[in-house]
Amino acid sequence: MTDSSGQTGMKGPESGVRPFVIESRHRESDVITSFVLRPRDGRPPAPHVAGQHLTLFADIPGAGRQKRNYTISAAPNGETYRISVKREAEGMVSKWLHDVAREGTVLDIAPPSGSFVLPADDARPLVMLSAGVGLTPMVAMLEALAADHRRPRLQFIHCTQSRATQAFGAHLRTLAAALGAATALFHTRANDGEASDGVLAGHLTPDWLLAHSAVAEAEYFVCGPTRFLRVFVPALAKAGVPPERLHYEFFGAVEDLFDDPPPASAAPSSPPATVAERHSRTVGDVTRAAISDALLDSAADAVVVSDAEGAIVLWNPGAERIFGFTEEEALGRSLDIIIPEPFRARHWEGYRETVASGQSRYGAGDMLAVPGLTRDGRRISLEFTIALIKDPAGKVTGMAAVLRDITPRFEEMKALKKKVAERQAAP
């Protein structure tokens, strides 16, 4: 999820993971169930803003500890959180929540975070656009608007298969009516029997959206499956909606939303001086210090180490080759120098979450594909893994990232996908 507000989750004493108990379950549709979560210690939960998400850790027998992000689907109340989860056929945690978790089940919860939040004022029209379970942040936002007695110029557009799969149906209609919102519901199953209830049959299209919303002035909030975002986020951007008015909630690789291939990598630069000597124990006839020096002084892959606040503390020759900044230029600066501006809010969201929780999914072989930014302003494609650096007490003090420029492979895959699509479309 990316936007320009720069708001993040809470820090300080509430930054740790806490146990919560499932207080109640509520079936919202044929495929979505809500879970009300209350802190087990009796203290209030960490505060949140409508639209933010939390990180849930579930210990599932036979699968170990699993980490998932879920949007909080209720406005803040100072006592509980609510998450609304779609049961996915291949979703390990969603199936466990639906089929196994019951009232009294304990889950570990990291504090809320995220910048997918409403503007502070009602100067601009708001367009809330969602599909499937992507309506969860919209429910929280609508509840918050009603609780705060705000009446923005509001348009609520939601896409689902039918009334049976739409969660919060009656609740949403009540909220929308109370707020004076213009509502459009698209149901993809024909003959749903709701034409008089503001329902339109078929799929929402970019042309309809652009013709029926205030493109020149509205703030857009978009949430839904990847294929939904891939249609509407680029369409709104191409129609002239600037990044500061285009907000979207997305838990995958942001680059997956856009098809524009990045430019080729910069040409290698001459290697700088080696990293200062490190001391460690000996392994056989080869010291760990020598191994570390060899890896860190290599220009093959970038090794970038940052502190808990995201300032760069180590920058190897590979980083200079890939990004173009010298060691002197990079040390002490924010990681923002290598992150394209539209993706920074999402990056810092994940960074702060990892520092707070002490866990990352990208340190045990899983790799993330992300866009990167070079010194001369070019965008490249990267893959990376990270290792967390912790003090003796287990607190995260920094992160070491190993990054590889995969721009040529990315372009080859794009070209291959295009050929496959052309052949499938051929008569």
**Of the candidates 75, 81, 69, the residue with the CA atom closest to the CA atom of residue 23:** 81
Question: pLDDT exceeding 70 applies to what percent of the chain?
Answer: 79
Residue whose token pair is 């199936």: 95
Can you give the pLDDT at residue 12? Answer: 35
Can you give the pLDDT at residue 395? Answer: 85
Q: Give the distance from CA 300 to its chain's centroid.
A: 29
Token duo for residue 239: 């129609």
Can you give the pLDDT at residue 364? Answer: 53
Give the tens place of pLDDT for each residue, 222-253: 999 888 998 999 999 999 999 889 998 765 44
Question: pLDDT exceeding 90 applies to what percent of the chain?
Answer: 46
Q: The sheet that has 81-86: what strands, in order across it?
A: 64-71, 53-60, 106-113, 18-27, 32-39, 81-86
Residue whose token pair is 């052949």: 423
Q: N- to C-terminal Cα distance for the chain?
A: 38
Could you tell me which residues are beta bridge partners of residue 2?
248
What's the whole-number mean pLDDT along residues 132-158? 94
Whether residue 217 contacts residue 125, with contact meaning beta carbons closer than 8 Å, is answered with yes
Whether pTM > 0.75 for this model: the answer is: no
In order, the DSSP letters of 299-314 are SSSEEEEEETTSBEEE
Q: Give the distance from CA 248 to its chain's centroid.
A: 9
Confidence of residue 78 (pLDDT cuts 50, 70, 90): very high
Confidence of residue 265 (pLDDT cuts 50, 70, 90): very low
Cα angle vertex 121, ends 116, 126, to 5°? 60
For the chain, list the domains and their CATH numbers.
12-113 (2.40.30.10), 126-257 (3.40.50.80), 286-411 (3.30.450.20)
What's the whole-number mean pLDDT along residues 22-27? 96
Q: Residue 114 pLDDT > 80, yes or no?
A: yes
> What 3-state DSSP class applies to 117?
coil
Can you give the pLDDT at residue 353? Answer: 82
Q: Residue 351 pLDDT > 70, yes or no?
A: yes
Residue whose token pair is 């700088």: 272
From CA 391, how far away is CA 22, in angstroms rounded?
Answer: 33
What's the whole-number mean pLDDT along residues 295-307? 84
Does 78 or 194 have the greater pLDDT score?
Answer: 78
Give the tens place of pLDDT for each residue, 38-66: 999 999 999 999 999 998 999 999 888 88
Question: DSSP label at 141?
Answer: H
Q: Which amino acid is at 60?
A: I
Torsion sign over Cα 300, 333, 112, 390: positive
Give the tens place of pLDDT for each residue, 266-285: 333 334 334 433 344 444 55
Whether residue 116 contacts residue 346, with contact meaning beta carbons closer than 8 Å, is answered with no
Lowest mean pLDDT across 343-347, 351-355, 362-366: 362-366
Q: Residue 204 pLDDT > 60, yes or no?
A: yes
Can you give the pLDDT at residue 261? Answer: 38
